[in-house]
């Protein structure tokens, strides 16, 4: 199969998983949306996370955006630490998020005292660290929702789809 936009050839085995996994992913997405619709706590958590992301986007300078993002990470870490026992894997992960957010904040403070030319390159590195941490926390939040729905999850057998492909 040749893609029109790039002219590159796709491997046939790359299309196979989408045909098999798409029905499963579609069903899972429906079940997650039902879970979110019926669970006010999950709705609140996702709404709060969305509001924090909007606040980050409204910040004017890159430094302010990073600082707001780290505030959101710390808040999510506090929520996880309050909800989980101190010995759980999730609480260790949340403590790591908080520590990494603190490191990003300290890097921003040091950055203020750097020459303008060095500040630009270092700011890009700090922004990448911040984006990575924020994505990790947000992904974890989404994974928590998916894990909560896994008890209700009834995935159909995909053997019919597999037979169609062979």
SS3 2: strand
- Angstrom distance (rounded) from CA 60 to CA 151: 43
SS3 151: coil
Residue-wise pLDDT for 35-59, tens only, equals: 788 888 888 888 888 887 777 677 7
- Angstrom distance (rounded) from CA 61 to CA 66: 9
Whole-number mean pLDDT of the chain?
Answer: 76
Most confident of 20-24, 55-59, 72-76, 158-162: 72-76
3-state helix, strand and coil shares in percent for the chain, rounded to the nearest 5:
80, 0, 20
Q: Quick one: pLDDT at residue 145?
A: 66
Mean pLDDT across 74-98: 85
- pLDDT-above-70 percentage for the chain: 71
Q: Residue 120's closest CA among 63, 42, 46?
A: 63
What length is written for the chain? Answer: 166
Q: How confident is the model at residue 107 (pLDDT cuts 50, 70, 90)?
A: very high
Residue 125 has pLDDT above 90, yes or no: yes
On whether the pTM is more than 0.95, the answer is: no
DSSP-derived letter for residue 61 is: S
């Amino acid at each position: 199969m040749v893609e029109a936009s790039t002219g590159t050839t796709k491997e046939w085995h790359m299309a196979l998983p989408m045909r098999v996994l798409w029905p499963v992913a579609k069903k899972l997405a429906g079940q997650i949306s039902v879970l979110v619709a019926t669970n006010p706590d999950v709705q609140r958590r996702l709404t709060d996370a969305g509001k924090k992301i909007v606040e980050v986007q409204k910040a004017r300078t890159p430094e302010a955006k990073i600082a707001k993002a780290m505030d959101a990470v710390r808040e999510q870490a506090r929520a996880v630490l309050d909800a989980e026992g101190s010995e759980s894997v999730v609480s260790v992960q949340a403590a790591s998020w908080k520590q990494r957010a603190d490191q990003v904040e300290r890097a921003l403070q040091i950055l203020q005292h750097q020459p303008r030319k060095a500040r630009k390159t270092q700011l890009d590195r700090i922004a990448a660290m911040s984006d990575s941490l924020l994505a990790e926390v947000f992904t974890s939040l989404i994974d928590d929702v998916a894990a909560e729905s896994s008890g209700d999850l009834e995935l159909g057998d995909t053997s019919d789809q597999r037979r169609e492909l062979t």
